């Protein structure tokens, strides 16, 4: 299988798989909670590696990292417990992940609050930081995805964080599609007040693990509002002034977290900048190849992307046709994603086809894709009766 769907689910390395299975074996031999206690130093190191990769400032420590089930779970935790006043106005970008927008609308509805779409380029969806100072006035929170799920367009996260910091507006930054694909933080200042992400995409960790990293003040505030003390494996409950462990999902696939720990260590050892360059090169090569396939057009957001390549569908194609193309590619041993408009309601009116090659893909492997896509397109046209 040629995996070109890292933006959905990356392929773990052999070492990551070995770490995961070794922990499952330890659970069977020694007992689940005993194995979890023994893995505590591994997860502590994982939190440190994560903070390093995020470019977190020195004030953030490993006790400011919480492990949850997914990036969505982390966003839900923050949005559900953030102290929003009545009539709160929350800033978002039109290119952000649709389910996040739904969470915010649900939270704001009983408060009589509203979502405010922040200034961005109408073609690419990329924010315009110069226009943000006025737009941020009076906002209670800003929620941004650094890299758009549907087309890979990258937001200028550092500039947006600086603008929010200057305006005194908290920033929730989702790096699920960014970490491991593009740089996230600079290290001299916080990448955001809260950063959330996932294991299974560009970090190439197992499924079922997400994370939340935040400033000490935010962790303390969330710990107070959630009021979710988590008992340890031996039945004791943490009693600290602030501790992200109280936000961590207690009953969880610890083996997957151990696998993520290995994946984070591998990325840090390989050199994130080197990985980013290789991912960007693979994305650029594939975008050039797919631009020649009749009927399909490369999304404007992809022109600014690194590893994600999104194609706008041919005229006459509907949701079922894009899914049919994806299925035909799968039969040829090529894995991609058919993205429905619900992924990004303000910007997507029609489904798109997304490819996201990983760092290890070769030019010869990518050279297979254009002809396969053309055959899959013809098959969908024949089956659906549309004309390209």
**Which domains, from first to last, does the chain contain?**
2-8+272-384 (3.90.1150.10), 14-270 (3.40.640.10)
In this prediction, residue 357 carries a pLDDT of: 96
pTM for the whole structure: 0.92
Q: What is the pLDDT along the chain (388 residues), one digit of tens a residue?
A: 999 999 999 999 999 999 999 999 999 999 999 999 999 999 999 999 999 999 999 889 999 999 999 999 999 999 999 999 999 999 999 999 999 999 999 999 999 999 999 999 999 999 988 899 999 999 999 999 999 999 999 999 999 999 999 999 999 999 999 999 999 977 668 899 999 999 999 999 999 999 999 998 888 888 776 654 444 333 334 444 445 777 888 889 999 999 999 999 999 999 999 999 999 999 999 999 999 999 999 998 887 888 999 999 888 887 789 999 999 999 999 999 999 998 998 888 889 999 999 999 999 999 999 999 999 999 888 876 555 4
* pLDDT tens string 229-260: 444 333 334 444 445 777 888 889 999 999 99
> In percent, how much of the chain has pLDDT > 90?
77
How does pLDDT run across 84-111, given as a tens digit for each residue? 999 999 999 999 999 999 999 999 999 9
DSSP-derived secondary structure letter, 130: G
d(CA 349, CA 268): 38
| Residue with tokens 């405010």, as numbered in its chain | 116
Tally of CB atoms within 10 A around 17: 15
DSSP-derived 3-state class of residue 349: coil
CA distances from 247 to 99, 187, 211, 290 (A): 21, 24, 10, 43
Predicted local distance difference test score (pLDDT) of residue 97: 94
Largest CA distance in the chain: 65
Distance, CA of 292 to CA of 87 (rounded, Å): 50
- On whether the CB atoms of residues 75 and 211 are closer than 8 A, the answer is no
pLDDT at 239: 42
Backbone angles phi, psi at 190, to 5 degrees: -65, 135
Please tell me the predicted confidence (pLDDT) of residue 247. Answer: 85
**Gyration radius of the chain's alpha carbons:** 21
Q: Under DSSP, is residue 179 helix (H, G, I), strand (E, B) or coil?
A: strand
Q: What's the pLDDT score for residue 243? A: 57
pLDDT at 227: 52
Query: Are 165 and 189 within 8 A, CB to CB?
Result: yes
What is the C-alpha separation between 255 and 36, in angstroms, rounded? 8
């Amino acid at each position: 299988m040629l995996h070109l769907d890292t933006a959905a689910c990356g392929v773990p390395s052999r070492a990551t798989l070995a770490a995961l299975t070794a922990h499952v074996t330890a659970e069977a031999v020694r007992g689940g909670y005993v194995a979890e206690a023994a893995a505590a130093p591994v997860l502590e190191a994982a939190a440190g590696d994560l903070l390093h990769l995020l470019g977190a400032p020195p004030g953030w420590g490993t006790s400011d990292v919480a492990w949850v089930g997914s990036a969505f779970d982390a966003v839900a935790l923050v949005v559900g417990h953030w102290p929003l006043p009545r009539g709160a106005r929350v800033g978002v970008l039109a290119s952000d992940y649709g389910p996040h927008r739904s969470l915010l609308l649900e939270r704001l509805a009983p408060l009589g609050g509203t979502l405010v779409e922040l200034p961005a380029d109408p073609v690419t969806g990329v924010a315009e930081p110069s226009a943000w100072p006025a737009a941020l006035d009076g906002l209670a929170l800003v929620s941004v995805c650094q890299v758009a799920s549907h087309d890979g367009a990258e937001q200028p996260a550092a500039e947006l964080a600086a603008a929010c910091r200057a305006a005194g507006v908290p920033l929730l930054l989702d790096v699920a599609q960014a970490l491991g694909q593009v740089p996230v933080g600079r290290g001299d200042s916080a990448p955001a007040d809260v950063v959330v992400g996932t294991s299974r995409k560009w970090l190439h960790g197992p499924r079922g693990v997400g994370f939340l990293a935040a400033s000490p003040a935010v962790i303390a505030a969330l710990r107070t509002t959630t009021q979710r003390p988590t008992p340890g494996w031996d039945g004791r409950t943490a009693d600290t002034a602030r501790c992200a462990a109280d936000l961590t999902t207690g009953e969880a696939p610890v083996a997957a977290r151990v696998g993520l720990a290995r994946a984070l260590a591998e990325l840090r050892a390989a050199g994130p900048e080197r990985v980013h360059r290789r991912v960007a090169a693979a994305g650029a090569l594939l975008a050039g190849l797919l631009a020649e396939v009749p009927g399909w057009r490369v999304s404007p957001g992809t022109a600014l992307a690194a590893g994600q390549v999104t194609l706008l569908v041919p005229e006459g194609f509907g949701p079922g046709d894009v899914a049919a193309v994806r299925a035909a590619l799968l039969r040829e041993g090529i894995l991609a994603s058919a993205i429905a408009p619900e992924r990004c309601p303000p910007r997507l009116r029609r489904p798109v086809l997304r490819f996201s090659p990983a760092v290890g893909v070769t030019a010869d492997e990518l050279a297979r894709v254009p002809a396969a896509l053309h055959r899959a397109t013809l098959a969908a046209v024949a089956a659906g009766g549309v004309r390209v």
